[in-house]
Amino acid sequence: MEKIRVVGGSPLEGTVRISGAKNASLPDLCAALLTDEPVVLTNVPEVRDIRTMGRVLSALGATVEFRVGGTVEVRTSDITSIEAPYDLVKTMRASVLVLGPLLAREGRARVSLPGGCAIGDRPINLHLQALTKMGAEIAVEHGYVEARADRLRGAEISFETVSVTGTENLMMAAALAEGETVIGNAACEPEVSDLAALLVAMGARVEGAGTSTVRVSGVEHLGGARHQVIPDRIETGTYIAACAIAGGEIEIQRCVPGHLRAVIEKLRQTGVRIEEGPGNLRVRAPRQLQPSDIRTLPHPGFPTDMQAQYMALMTQASGTTTVTETIFENRFMHVAELERMGADIRVDGRTAVIKGSTPLSGAQVMATDLRASACLVLAGLAARGETVVDRVYHLDRGYYRIDEKLRGLGADIERLT
Ligand code: EPZ
């Protein structure tokens, strides 16, 4: 079990390059199931979840070729299985994104229910309700979703809760359905727009992606395409927070500032100096961070995937910050670990109150999910002494070489095998 060891106290300086977005690459890979022609994705981050998705697609009959430098080619000349097995889906919930494409392409799908995870039980009921409205017959038994549809029909759908992968599953299902599908209360995340751009390049007719109403007119056939995945906005926000908490001044390259507007504005309110360029950011830490409350919200609000990293930062702010997590019911698992490092945080339901600033001391800590791991690494950058973060596989699911990138910025950090 690998660990990451951080010794706090070194301000960051230099340049870091952002990798492609994990949460855009995952639906983009699944979209390749919709055609028997090759789909080539570039700027795909070489992280664990991408490998897992490669295994899921291969299990369905796709040929997945990982080339050097983040290019992935997927060829699904024919689907040889319609089952996404439990042992893969349980390791990565995003595997449910094969449901829509399989139904659209093959008319059948057998996908294991993802089961809960550290941050909540995360059902897929909204995905299933929407697919049923498109004519799919769906049964849930023995922990699997059994779905079939001779031909999906366009429908008028409105999600009662904004769901990122729910919106993405529906867009892919609707791309080959008969007639028009209108998705109301759709997720507006940049990753949804990235999927739409790929689908359009494949010949789909999609309008309104990035807004809360997406219209998809089904077509008979989709072809192959070449598509560059957008940069990872959460990785970008994580490095802004890293500089803010460790001190110093860094340049973040190959990012899209417009994809994390709420994060940039909020961090400016805490005193972080952020200058925007066309595809880069210059970040300078303030001498003293100021507290500023957040509520996580669907895009374009403050992203839940930045909540843990922001909480670590606010332990160093001069005053009290309130963090309200409105998306997931159990995304404060990092609080206990931060408290072991000296943070003063009180949790009441979906709200955490952080008293700053508290000096942090290095400790042995354990990560529970991808973003909680990042939060603990950030806290380690500011803590006195040595922090060892266990269960680093969580980090490797969504961050490409975070230890190397932070070391390149001057952090005293190493991976212990
Ligand atoms: C996506 O998960 C992301 N994953 C998550 O990132 C991110 O935290 C989340 O969106 C919210 O932004 C990928 O894109 C692969 P949701 P997703 O469906 O789609 C409830 C990371 O760190 N809900 O938008 O699974 C759900 O329980 C990961 O990279 C239902 O009740 O999230 C949650 O409370 C973590 N029924 C809320 O909606 C459903 O059918 C939003 O979930 C679907 C969702």
What ranges do the domains of the chain cover?
A: 3-19+231-416, 22-228
Residue 126 CB–ligand 1 contact under 6 Å: yes
- Given this model, what pLDDT does residue 349 score? 95
- Give the whole-number percent of the chain exceeding pLDDT 70: 100
- Given this model, what pLDDT does residue 154 score? 98
Look at 367 and 404; give whichever has higher pLDDT: 404
Which of 30, 117, 255, 375 is flagged as catalytic? 117
* pLDDT tens-place string over residues 307-346: 999 999 999 999 999 999 999 988 999 999 999 999 999 9
What residue owns the CA closest to ligand 1's atom 24?
A: 163
Residue 370 CB–ligand 1 contact under 6 Å: yes
Is 117 part of the annotated catalytic residue set? yes
Residue 97 CB–ligand 1 contact under 6 Å: no
pLDDT band at 116; cut points 50, 70, 90: low
Cα 19 from Cα 280, distance rounded (Å): 13
Residue 114 CB–ligand 1 contact under 6 Å: no
Asked if pLDDT for residue 18 goes beyond 80, the answer is yes
Examine residue 212 and say whether the peptide bond preceding it is cis (omega within 30 degrees of 0). no
Cα 400 from Cα 254, distance rounded (Å): 14
> How far away, in angstroms, is 178 Cα from ligand 1 center?
28
> How far away, in angstroms, is 74 Cα from ligand 1 center?
25
Residue 83 CB–ligand 1 contact under 6 Å: no
Asked if pLDDT for residue 122 goes beyond 90, the answer is no
pLDDT band at 1; cut points 50, 70, 90: confident
Residue 398 CB–ligand 1 contact under 6 Å: yes
- Given this model, what pLDDT does residue 57 score? 97
Class level of CATH domain 3-19+231-416:
alpha beta
Asked if pLDDT for residue 103 goes beyond 70, the answer is yes
Question: With contact defined as beta carbons under 8 Å apart, do 11 and 381 qualify?
Answer: no
| Shared fold status for 3-19+231-416 and 22-228 | yes
What residue owns the CA closest to ligand 1's atom 38?
A: 163
Question: Average pLDDT of 113-123?
Answer: 76
Q: CA–CA distance from 130 to each of 192, 202, 247, 295 (Å)?
A: 17, 23, 47, 28
> How far away, in angstroms, is 93 Cα from ligand 1 center?
9
Question: Average pLDDT of 350-374?
Answer: 95
> How far away, in angstroms, is 154 Cα from ligand 1 center?
24
The neighbouring-strand residues paired with 180 are: 217
Ligand 1 pocket: which of 212, 327, 334, 400 to mutate (most atoms within 8 A of CB): 327
| 151 Rama class: left (phi>0) / alpha (psi -120 to 50) / beta | beta
Superfamily name with CATH number, domain 22-228: Enolpyruvate transferase domain (3.65.10.10)
Residue 305 CB–ligand 1 contact under 6 Å: yes
* pLDDT tens-place string over residues 43-90: 999 999 999 999 999 999 999 999 999 999 999 999 999 999 888 888
Cα 131 from Cα 166, distance rounded (Å): 10
Cα 128 from Cα 213, distance rounded (Å): 19
* pLDDT tens-place string over residues 230-246: 999 999 999 999 999 99
Q: How many CB atoms lie within 10 A of CB 161?
A: 11
Cα 246 from Cα 243, distance rounded (Å): 5
Two tokens, residue 206: 């999609």
Query: Which H/E stretch holds residue 366?
Result: strand 364-366
DSSP string, 106-145: HSEEEEE----BTTB----HHHHHHHHHTT-EEEEETTEE
- Given this model, what pLDDT does residue 13 score? 98
Q: CA–CA distance from 151 to each of 27, 98, 108 (Å)?
A: 22, 17, 10
Please give the angle made by the CA atoms of 9, 11 and 13, to the nearest 5 degrees: 155
Ligand 1 pocket: which of 26, 122, 234 to mutate (most atoms within 8 A of CB): 122
Angle between helices 307-314 and 370-382 (to 10 degrees): 20
- Give the whole-number percent of the chain exceeding pLDDT 90: 93
